[in-house]
Amino acid sequence: MRRLRRGLPLVGGPRALRPLARGRGSDHLRAGGHRAPSQSGQRTRLLAPAPRVRAWRAALPSPPRRRAAAARSARLCGLRARAAAGAAPRQCAAGRHPCARDALADRIGRRLRHRGARALSSVVVLGAGPAGLTAAYVLARDGRDVTVLERDDVVGGLSRTEVRDGWRFDLGGHRFYTKSAEVEELWHEVLGDELLERPRLSRIFYGGRFIDYPLSAPELVRKLGATELARCGLSYAAARLRPAGPQDTFEQWVTRRFGRRLYEVFFRSYTEKVWGVPCSELRADWAAQRIRELSFATAVRAALRPTAEPEATSLIRRFHYPRLGPGQMWERMAQRIEELGGTVRTGTEVEELIVEDGHVTGVVAGGAFHSASSVISSLPLAVIPGITQGAPAPVVAAAQQLRHRSFLTVALALEGDDLFPDNWVYIHDPAVRVARIQNFRSWSPAMVPEEGMTSVGLEYFCFAGDELWSRSDDELIALAVAELEQVGLAPAARVRRGWVARVPMAYPIYDERYAEHVAHIRGWLEGLGNLQQVGRSGLHRYNNSDHSMLTAMCAVANLDGAQHDLWEVN
C-alpha cells in the first residue's frame, strides 16, 4: 500500500489551521511556457503552495528515513479523522498506557472541536474546468466549505482562452447554448452583460464550396450538382430500403442513415482525422450522440421554399459567448468561488486519494493533505484508479485501456478581412491534415486586437507524443500556413505571425472496448460512497460544456440526499 509523504500539512479544516499563503491571481494564462493578461481584467485570488511545503521539499531526508517518515505520516491521516470525530484513544498492545500518537490525536481533536472545525463537511473538487468549477461554485454559494485543486496554472481546462501578445484564441470552439434553464441561469448569474449573443454559422468546406453543417437536405440539393446529387440520392435510397443490419460501429450507423456515398464524402475523412482510428472501429455511441439524421424525402419541398427555416435548427441560430472568450466565464467563476469563501488552488497536481473503510478521507496534492468528507472529480476516468489508494489491479488495468485523442491549435494572424463569416469550417479534404478552421472574430470582435487584421485557428488532432504532436512550433506554423493556402482560403503572403497551443487528452475515444472498461471502473467507484465523477473526462463521455455542468449540479444535489445517476444525465 502506498503511503503519504513526510510532513504533509493538514489542509481542508478550519482556515486558522491552514498554513497557506496567498499567491498570484488567475490573470496569467499559460501554454507552452507563455503567460498573458487576464481575460476579464479582474484578479482572481488563488493560493500558492504553502511555505511549509517548499521547506519540506528542500529538506527531504535520505530514502530510508523518508520511508520511515512516510509511515508516521500515514498513521496521522487516520488519526486526524478519529480525533475530529471524538474517538477515544486506543491502548498500547501491552495495555499499560495510551500510545503517544493517541495522545496527539486527543490534542488535535480538542483543538478542532474547540474551533468549530468544518473539516468533516469539507468538499474537495478535483479539476477546475467547467464541471469542477460549477460544482465548487454551487457549493460555495450554498455556504459549504470547498477546495478546488487544479494541475494547470489557469482555470477553464479545454474551455480556457489562450492569450498570446494580446490575441485571444478559443481552443476547440465553445458555443454557450443549452436547453437547461439551470445552466443558462448560472451563465448569466456569473458573467452578466459580458455574455454576448452571437450568430451561429458553421459549414463544410468541400471542393471549394461551403455546405451547411449539420447537413441540410435542401442545401445538398442546391450545392452538389445533378450528377453528385443523383449518386448520393440513389445511395441514400438503397440504404433505406436495405434490411436493417448491425449498427454497432460509426461506419454502420452512418451508412444506414445517409447511404454509402454521403458517408464517404462528408463523414469518413473528417471523422478519421479527428479520432485517429478507422470508422469501422469507432463505436456508434458517438454518432448517435452527435449527428442529426437527414431526410431526402423532404429535400425538394424544402428547396422550393428556401425562405422557410428548418424546424430542427431554428433554436440554435444564435448562441451566447463571453466577450473575451470562454475562459472569461471560468476565471470569473473561480473569482466568485473565492469571494464566497471557497479556495481555488492552481498549479497543484493531485497525487493520491486516501481511502479508509470504503470512503475517500483526503487528497494528497501539491505536497499537502486535504481532508475531505466528499470528493467531486472531473479528472479523467483513466487517471482516477491509478492514484487511488488500494484500487484493485484489474480496475487500474481497465483504466489504462481507456484512450483519448489530443489536439493542437495553430493560431495565425493575417492581414485583411475575415476569410469567411463562420464560427468555424470543417475541412473534409483528405489531402490535408487540418480538420477544422476557426474564425475568432466571428466569436467575438474583442478576440482580435488589431484593426485591419484577422485571426484563424487551424485544428489538428493527434495523440500526445506522436509525430505531429512532437513537431516544433515553427514546423507546425509552417504546416498550417501551407495548408491554409492549399485548401484555397488564404495565400501564405497574408500571414504575419503564428502561435501553437497543445491540449492533451482532449476527447475520450469510443473504441471497441471502451464501454466494457468504463463499466468495470464504474462498478468499483460505486463502492467508494463519497467519490463522484463528473464532466467529459470524468465520465469518459463526449459531452458539451453545458452537459458537463449539469452533471456537476447533480453531483452537488446528491450530497444533500438526491439520487441522480450521473452516468445517465442528459
- What are the tens digits of pLDDT across the range 513-547? 999 999 999 999 999 989 999 999 999 999 899 99
526 Cβ neighbours under 8 A, 6+ residues apart? none
Would you say residue 350 has pLDDT above 80?
yes
290 Cβ neighbours under 8 A, 6+ residues apart? 542
Q: Which H or E element spans position 476?
A: helix 473-486
Say how far apart CA 22 and CA 12 lie, in whole Å: 15
The angle formed by the CA atoms of residues 376, 6 and 95, to the nearest 5 degrees, is 95
CB-CB contact of 86 with 112 (8 Å): no
What is the pLDDT at residue 232? Answer: 86
Domain made up of 404-508: CATH architecture: Alpha-Beta Complex (3.90)
Q: What pLDDT band is residue 242 in, cutting at 50, 70 and 90?
A: confident
Q: What pLDDT band is residue 294 in, cutting at 50, 70 and 90?
A: low
Would you say residue 362 has pLDDT above 50?
yes
Alpha-carbon radius of gyration of the chain: 26
Which homologous superfamily is 123-157+181-192+323-401+515-560 in?
Answer: FAD/NAD(P)-binding domain (3.50.50.60)
CB-CB contact of 535 with 502 (8 Å): no
What is the pLDDT at residue 346? Answer: 98
Query: Do strands 161-164 and 167-170 pair parallel, antiparallel, or not at all (unpaired)?
Result: antiparallel
What is the pLDDT at residue 68? Answer: 42
- Edge-to-edge strand list for the sheet holding 368-371: 10-11, 368-371, 359-365, 350-356
Of 374, 372, 369, which Cα lies nearest the Cα of 19? 369
Query: What are the boundaries of each domain within the chain?
Result: 123-157+181-192+323-401+515-560, 216-313, 404-508
**Residue 73: C-alpha distances to residues 229, 243, 312 (Å):** 71, 65, 59
Amino acid letter, 430: P
What is the pLDDT at residue 251? Answer: 93
Of 130, 108, 132, which Cα lies nearest the Cα of 119? 108
Say how far apart CA 443 and CA 198 lie, in whole Å: 7
Mean of the pLDDT values across residues 352-357? 96
What is the pLDDT at residue 516? Answer: 97
Say how far apart CA 497 and CA 499 lie, in whole Å: 7
Would you say residue 65 has pLDDT above 50?
no
**What are the tens digits of pLDDT across the range 436-453?**
999 999 999 999 999 999
Mean of the pLDDT values across residues 368-383? 97
What is the pLDDT at residue 295? Answer: 56
Say how far apart CA 449 and CA 452 lie, in whole Å: 10
DSSP one-letter code for 364: E
CB-CB contact of 101 with 36 (8 Å): no
What string of DSSP letters covers 505-525?
Answer: EEEE---TTHHHHHHHHHHHH
Of 425, 446, 442, 445, which Cα lies nearest the Cα of 490? 425
Would you say residue 80 has pLDDT above 60?
no
Say how far apart CA 114 and CA 552 lie, in whole Å: 33
CB-CB contact of 454 with 417 (8 Å): yes
Would you say residue 149 has pLDDT above 80?
yes
pTM equals 0.76
DSSP one-letter code for 176: B
Alpha carbon 35 to its chain's center: 21
The angle formed by the CA atoms of residues 416, 420 and 424, to the nearest 5 degrees, is 125
